Amino acid sequence: MPFTLHGLAVSQGIAIGHVHLVSHALLEVNHYQLAPRHLEAEMARLDDAVAEVRGELQELRSASEHNPAYNEVGAFVDVHLMFLDDPMLTDAARTLIDARRCNAEWALVQQMELLVEQFDQIEDAYLRERKADVIQVVERLVKVLLGQPGHLPRKRKDSPGTIVVAHDLSPADTLGFRDHDIAGFVTDVGGPTSHTAIVARSQGIPAVVALHNVRQLVHDNELMIIDGTRGVVIIDPDERILEEYRLRKTELELERSKLHRLTSARATTLDGEEVSLLANIELPRDGVQARKVHADGVGLFRTEFLFLNRHALPDEDEQFEAYRAALKHMGGAPVTIRTLDVGADKALEAVGKRSTEANPALGLRAIRYSLTEPKMFRTQLRALLRASHYGPLKILLPMLAHAHEMDQSLAMIAQAKEQLRERKQKFDPKVEVGGMIEVPAAALSLGMFVRRLQFLSIGTNDLIQYTLAIDRTDEAVAHLYDPLHPAVLKLIGGTIQVGARYGLPVSVCGEMAGDPAFTRLFLGMGLRRFSMQPTQLLGVKQEVLRADVGDLAPKVQRILKMDEQERVHEAVERLGV
């Protein structure tokens, strides 16, 4: 009998296939004590498991280098290799085995729970979800210790594909699926920035996460439908439901193939307004994907991956090479690089700080953090400036709210320039500096930005969070997270209007920019620069090509005067009709 589950839609599309349950080894760990004479052998068993997992990860890393489709996954495998060698995990587990005379599996799980507890204190959603890396590394080690296979069955002749159902999936898992016909992913846990979500979106595989107990409700080989647009999972569908979803799947695939025809088309509205469609990237080589969809440049290059999960900060040369590589991959198109945007957490313990804040989201993070670490900040600024000699690079400062933050940052950029002149190293002296509009205080005090900076970028994810006082990763309040709340739209619309009035370029680089449902709304507000994941670009371009700004502008101005959420939602929906 069919039944339906509802979760979080993180990768659009329709998938139909048979379930393959991935074992959750951490639930199967027992605790037992060892005789002193067996402790050395248990240590060796742990060492052998670490060596085996390291070999598997290195093999997967090598495979990712030879397959461009897995570029994003390769970076995550690197993170897992770093965690595997982190003394806080494996060395601490060895200490537990010796001190408590326990088995290796239990020791690993105990230390994992301690580390996860530390990650849970981090307010930043992206960094907090990196606790999944620790869990996934331990899961992989435990599977080796328990002798469990981690392979998928080969594709059945009578099946449209395999739907992987798991508690969670690691990037190594997803890369290991490359020889199988994976139709979709379904997991108990996860969020928009989880590995499953990122990999699924990058490969165009439908996925629904945060279903809580799906593994307990389904069985191997059951037929399943994933609706990755609505966040719906249907188990054991009848023939009528199957036929309906087969038809919808065919229609979606036809639409997707049509989108690829737009790759080389200029993003111009029906009434001749040109629009820049830019890409958000995490790593320098992500520029390859951006160029494939003919992105006009990079609107946001996040630099956090250079700093996270390591015992020493990246030096100037390492950063310079990464920034120069991003410019090279973009072949002369402009690249906007955001300075470090993290909080005082374990991932940056190399600078000697630990977070003791009750609420890090309202504490020392982003530009505030960088300004308290001038040596680290100047190193990054020098690397950015040096890279600017090799292409059109722009520097983006995150989470600005005060004039003195901008003044201090600009003074440090000037110092970095002077240091490079003394070294006789080349850079672009006219490199543009911009600011992120992520807090209501910034959106309501734009005059100080206009007087000091050359461009603005609206980070809608944080702007919504701070405006509505909602953490969308908190399930208790996630339903209140509304991008179309009238207050949010007024802040975005006001920022775009001020930028236009003073000739200051404004872009939107949050998730809203990549959602075609909001494209016409933004165009009517006056936005002409969108920055999004490369996989989202063609969908947004299609909306741009179908839009008439002259017709949209007065309608959107009426929407911005509304103060009832339901009316706003209805009006935005009508813009696409």
Q: What is the pLDDT of residue 267?
A: 96
Amino acid at site 346: K
pLDDT value at 478 more than 60: yes
Among 293, 253, 295, 294, smallest CA distance to 278 is for 295
Distance CA 510, CA 530 (A): 9
Task: Label each residue of 250-261 as H, E or C.
Answer: HHHHHHHHHHHH
Catalytic-labelled residue, pool 18, 167, 195, 329? 195
Kindly report, as residue ranges, where domains of CATH 1.10.274.10 are found in the chain. 25-146
Fold of 3-20+151-241: Glucose Oxidase; domain 1 (3.50.30)
The DSSP call for residue 18 is E
Question: Among the ranges 360-369, 415-424, 504-513, which has the highest mean pLDDT value?
Answer: 415-424
Provide CATH 3.20.20.60 ranges for the chain.
272-575
Work out the burial of residue 554: count CB atoms within 10 Å of its CB; fewer than 13 is exposed, 13-18 middle, 19 or more buried.
Answer: exposed
% of the chain residues with pLDDT over 90: 51
**pLDDT over 70 (residue 433):** yes
Has residue 356 got a pLDDT over 90? Answer: no
Q: What is the pLDDT of residue 485?
A: 96
Q: In this structure, which CATH number among 1.10.1200.10, 3.30.590.10, 3.40.50.300, 1.10.274.10 belongs to the domain 25-146?
A: 1.10.274.10
Residue 102 a catalytic site member:
no
More confident residue, 178 or 395: 395
- Least confident interval from 27-31, 169-173, 362-366, 555-559: 169-173
pLDDT of residue 496: 98
- Here the tokens at position 109 are 């799980």
Structural element, H or E, at residue 286: none
Q: Examine the pLDDT at 227 and tell me if it is beyond 90.
A: yes
- pLDDT tens string 48-63: 999 988 888 887 777 6
Q: Which of 358, 350, 367, 355 is nearest to 402 (CA)?
A: 367
Instruction: Please check whether residue 88 is in contact with residue 134, taking contact to mean a CB–CB distance below 8 angstroms.
Output: no
Sheet holding 223-227, edge to edge: 3-6, 232-235, 223-227, 14-21, 162-166, 182-187, 207-209, 8-11
The mean of the pLDDT values for the chain is: 86
Domain 272-575 has CATH 3.40.50.1820: no
Does 195 participate in catalysis according to the annotation? Answer: yes
